[in-house]
Structure 1
Amino acid sequence: MSVTPRAGQAPQAPAGLRVRYAGTSHPAAALGRGAAYELFSADPAPGFEPDRRPGARYPWHRYAHASEVAPLRDGGGPVVAARTSTGSTDPTDQPLTAPLNREVGWAEIHRLGQSPASADDPLLTAVRGSATIRRGTHMVKVLSAAQVAGFLRGWLPYGFCHREYDVAHLRTPADLALLRTDADAGRGVPDVGYLLRWRAIDPVDYVLPTGPEHRGLVTMPPQDRAGPPVLGTGFTPSGRHLVPEFVTRDFADLPLPANATLLAHTVDGDEVVLYTYQPEQRGWLRMAGPRWRHLLAALPGVAPDQEYVSTADAVRSTLLVGGYRGGEHEAVADPPGEFRVLAMTRAARYPVETLVRRARYASWRQTRCLVLREESGWLRLRLCRPDPDNVAALGAQCYERGVYEAWAPAVEVVDGGLLDQPYPI
């Protein structure tokens, strides 16, 4: 049995846990519920870096995805453990698969994934289709410090995101930089990487940024976009990694499930849980101790010593609504299997009988939008299908990769009303 190390201390390889990587056996520690491994070495090796953490038993370490290694026991025998075929202990984790042969290897798949002209290639379509999301799949969104502060003030998950299983081996701020969506992405590497991690309520909320619906993002001129370009292949631009990417359907805000977490990754690859979301209290509970208070000090407008950050007054454009005995109630999702009425007292947290995500839509200058909020006769709109033409027509601004918003006079907007996205339960 392995013991989870405290953040900032080098993890110790569990007794007998070794993995084979690039033909060599290494002691290792599992990460991300087995989706990735930290490998250790007594000698320098390609890709290994000095381990400068206190208490490190090995002077060199590196991170690798589960698909790149083969777990071994002491003596070279295969590990027998409660794992899925993905290497992960989580049954919602499903790996990328491809019909490889002597002529087509991962290098060719990667080349196709980085070429917009290959978006409709049948081979790439098959690989892309193997990146599935299920109810309860762990999702992540890499954030800037300003975006972390926004979520603490009440933002909800929206826009570009990834399955945690696909990026579990990207542990350092330098590695995570390629997944950033903010306007400062690509402008140097910060000393810390921030992430939001949550569990998918339902796969209907996520789509691949491919096909005609998202072609406008592919053709967006550089001056009108933030972050890396959208390739239209369903994969993040990268010279090394093949990472499937997703967007929330219509770029809508999604309800925040119970126990979502805001995380920080240090330059050594350690993961620190900063806050965890408590839906009944409508706020974030601080988890980082004094050792990591400096990670919170970098968040603009956030008091590092604040134990609890309330978002009760935040304006939410999306609401999770559950039906119970003929009435409608605000609901809480705790996927994969628990959906209940939002209530402070445990006795009143009844399991809901129906469940929907409710959002308000509108049309402005023949462009379908989400209504985020209304103030003094003006509506804050987010474009559902941004393209160069409607961005110019609406004067929309790009606030992060793929996300375009504008203020519109309410008298010019055709209100589409509240629309419900049902979730089967």
Structure 2
Amino acid sequence: MRRVTLTGADNAVGVDPLEPPLSAPLRRDLGWTQVQRMSQSAVHRDDRQLRVIRSTAAIRRGTRMTKVLSAAQVAGHLGGWLPYGFCYRSCDLAHLHEPADLGLLRTDGSSDVDVVYALRWRAVDPSDYEVPAGPAQPGLAALPAHSRIGAMVLGTGFSPSTEDLIPEFVTAGFADLPLPANAQIIAYVPGGEEVILYAYQPEQHGWLRLAGPRWRPVLANLPGISPDREYLPCTSAASARLIGRIKEHEYEAIADPPDEFRVRALTRAARYPVQTLSRRAEQARWRGAPCWVLQRDDSWARLRLVRPDGDGLAATGARCYERGVYESWAPLHELADHHITDIPYAL
């Protein structure tokens, strides 16, 4: 199935407003085969027609997003990892069900094709995502093969594929994004069946198992995770969180896109809607490279490059941990412009 909508002057398409389709104005001199080939060629990175097509794959508040995971990455997210790095609109992957097809979109270089896992959530705001190409990420496509993991970044905004047209995204600046309510960890098994394994409980900051005994072998694949546990609390400290305000008071907040943004509270009566919302994270510069500060103690800080490129890798010695994600440890006293930042969202 080819994920593209033919458009013309008299064509009216009824679609979910939260998930506008990728649309291409196909005509006699611009057919499907040509568009697909253009998406796979570095020669067409700056092609105006291809950029117009790519721009139709828009993210709205509430758009369903998917990151394809390995078993090891699932274990990390169950422990408290946040969404970050390469991801896709769920609607652009709707035609892919078999593990062998989805496995090509994993980011950590793993090769298991028996089962593929994924994290699925709804976007809090379009500003949290960008296209992994110029101008947002101009250096990714130029990184040499020995310094990357996973598929190469084409720089066209599309995932490498011999037959599909799949627009890809990264979290803005490869940032960690706070996990919204109703996020899910799912599995794709041979035969194309989709299984919801866990659902995120935001007030408790943990994962509730939904998969029954039939899926015990799928759960048993997850390293360090007991398939018998019904609830898994997140134990890793989050590097980003949502902050809401009600009048002059500040609260930790929870997003339930597209419409609900509330105070995080265990009792329902205290879950008031917030008046403003922002994402709070820690930033710094190290050896000239802008970074997110993911962890730190009194002496060292774990950093992730905001815009990976050859110069940044050479200056920091950052190592690739998954596709597009480059991290390093730095002495805390060497950080410049070290600060807490609030990225506001318009409600």
* Fold shared by both chains (TM-score > 0.5): yes
1:93–1:179 Cα change, 3 Å: same
Q: 1:116 to 1:96 in 2, by over 3 A?
A: same
CA distance in 2, matches of 1:183, 1:390: 22
On the 8 A contact 2:4/2:22 being kept in 1, the answer is no
Aligned with residue 281 of structure 1, among 204, 207, 219:
204
Matched with 1:241 is 164
Corresponding residue of 1:327: 249
**8 Å contact kept, 1:160–1:246:** yes
Aligned to 1:136: 62
Aligned equivalent of 2:289: 367
Structure-to-structure mapping, 1:115-264, within 5 angstroms:
115-184=41-110, 187=111, 189-264=112-187
d(CA) in 1 for partners of 2:242, 2:54: 29
The answer to whether the 8 Å contact 1:65/1:168 transfers is: no
Aligned match of 2:14: 85
Aligned amino acid, residue 132 of structure 2: P
Q: Percent identity?
A: 57
Q: Is it true that 1:110 corresponds to 2:110 in the alignment? A: no
Tell me if structure 2 keeps the 8 A contact 1:183–1:399: no
Q: Is the 8 A contact 1:356 1:420 kept in 2?
A: yes
Match of 2:323 in 1: 401
**Over aligned residue pairs, what C-alpha RMSD do you find?**
1.6
Contact 1:119 1:232 in 2 (8 A): yes
| Partner residue of 1:299 out of 218, 222, 231 | 222
Matched positions, count: 342
1:176 and 1:375 map into 2 onto residues whose CA distance is 38
Give the CA deviation at 1:328.
0.7
**TM-score calculated relative to the size of structure 1:** 0.78
Deviating 4+ runs (over 3 angstroms): 64-69
For 1:383 and 1:176, the matched residues in 2 are separated by: 27
Structure 1: give runs of 5+ residues left out of the alignment.
1-63, 70-83
Alpha-carbon distance between aligned partners in 2 of 1:394 and 1:68, rounded to the nearest angstrom: 43
Paired residue type of 1:303: S
Larger RCO, structures 1/2 (Cα 8 Å, 6+ apart): 2
Shift of 1:326: 1.1
Contact 2:3 2:164 (C-alpha < 8 Å) held by counterparts: no
Distance of aligned partners of 1:314 and 1:229 in 2 relative to their CA distance in 1, 3 Å threshold: same
Secondary structure at the counterpart of residue 95 of structure 2 = coil
**TM-score normalized by structure 2?**
0.96
1:165 is matched by which residue type in structure 2? Answer: C
2:25 matches 1:96: no
What is the alpha-carbon distance in structure 1 between the residues aligned to residue 98 and residue 138 of structure 2? Answer: 32
Q: Could you say which structure has the larger radius of gyration?
A: 1
**Deviations 1:7-60, CA, capped at 9 Å, x for gaps:** xxxxxxxxxxxxxxxxxxxxxxxxxxxxxxxxxxxxxxxxxxxxxxxxxxxxxx
Q: In the aligned structure 2, how far is the partner of 1:66 from the partner of 1:289?
A: 33
Q: Which amino acid is the alignment partner of residue 224 of structure 2? A: G
Tell me the distance in 2 between the aligned counterparts of 1:293 and 1:91: 37
Q: Give the deviation of 1:65 after TM superposition.
A: 6.0
Quick check: 2:3–2:165 contact (8 Å CA) kept in 1? no
